[in-house]
Amino acid sequence: MRHLILVFGLALAGCASTSYDLALMPRDSGKVYTGTADDTGGGEGRISVTIEGKTYNGTWVETQPGTATGYVSGGLGFGFGGRRHGFSSLGTFITMDNPQGSESKALLTAADGSGLRCDFKGGQGRGGGVCRDDRGREYDVQVRRAERR
Pairing type for strands 115-123 and 126-133 reads antiparallel
Confidence check: pLDDT of 56 > 60 = yes
- pLDDT of 4 reads 29
pTM for this one? 0.67
Let me know: does 96 contact 68? Beta carbons within 8 Å. Answer: yes
pLDDT band at 6 (very low <50, low <70, confident <90, very high): very low
Task: Give a yes or no: residue 48 inside a domain.
Answer: yes
- pLDDT of 13 reads 40
CA dist., res. 137 & res. 149, Å (int): 31
Task: Give a yes or no: residue 40 inside a domain.
Answer: yes
CATH number at residue 30: 2.40.128.120
Task: Give a yes or no: residue 24 inside a domain.
Answer: yes
Residue 128 domain boundaries: 17-65+101-145
Task: Give a yes or no: residue 86 inside a domain.
Answer: no
- The average confidence (pLDDT) of the chain is 77
3-state DSSP of the chain: CHHHHHHHHHHHHHCCCEEEEEEEEECCCCCCEEEEEEECCCCEEEEEEEECCEEEEEEEEEEECCEEEEEEEEEEEEEECCEEEEEEEEEEEEEEECCCCEEEEEEEECCCCCEEEEEEEEECCEEEEEEEECCCCEEEEEEEECCCC
- pLDDT of 7 reads 29
Task: Give a yes or no: residue 51 inside a domain.
Answer: yes
Task: Give a yes or no: residue 90 inside a domain.
Answer: no
Task: Give a yes or no: residue 127 inside a domain.
Answer: yes
Could you report the per-residue pLDDT of 86-138, keeping only the tens digit for each? 555 567 776 665 555 668 999 999 999 999 999 998 765 568 899 999 999 99
- pLDDT of 75 reads 54
Could you report the per-residue pLDDT of 12-48, keeping only the tens digit for each? 344 456 899 999 999 999 999 999 999 888 889 999 9
Lowest mean per-residue pLDDT among 4-8, 32-36, 45-49, 70-74: 4-8
CA dist., res. 87 & res. 137, Å (int): 64
Q: State the total domains in the chain.
A: 1
Task: Give a yes or no: residue 108 inside a domain.
Answer: yes
